[in-house]
Amino acid sequence: MNRHTPANNAETPRIHTFLTVSEVAALLRTTKAAVYAMVERHQLPGITRIRRRVLIREDALLDWLGQKSTPSPEG
C-alpha cells in the first residue's frame, strides 16, 4: 500500500456535489429569484457561500425534498 492510499474507506473524506442556483431552480421548477429568496430566508439546507456565489449541496437538498414529500393517497 502506498502512502496516499487510505487503510480503509472510513478515512476517505466525503466529496459533496454542489448545485448552482440555476440548477436548483430547474430542479424545483421555479425561478432563480425564488431560490435566492429561499436562501435569504434560510429555507433551503446545505447552503455554501463562496464570495458572492451560492452553492447548494445536492445530497442535503434531495434529503430535504424527501422529507417534504407526502405519501400518495391510496385509491
Q: How many Å apart are CA 28 and CA 11, to the nearest integer?
A: 34
35-49 pLDDT, tens digit each: 999 999 999 999 999
Closest by CA to 24, choosing from 11, 43, 8, is 43
- Answer whether residue 74 shows pLDDT above 60: yes
Greater confidence, 39 or 68? Answer: 39
Distances from the Cα of 45 to the Cαs of 31, 41, 57, 59, 68, in angstroms? 18, 11, 8, 9, 12
- Mean pLDDT estimate for the chain: 88
Distances from the Cα of 15 to the Cαs of 4, 12, 54, 55, in angstroms? 17, 9, 18, 14
What is the phi/psi pair of residue 60, to 5°?
-65, -40
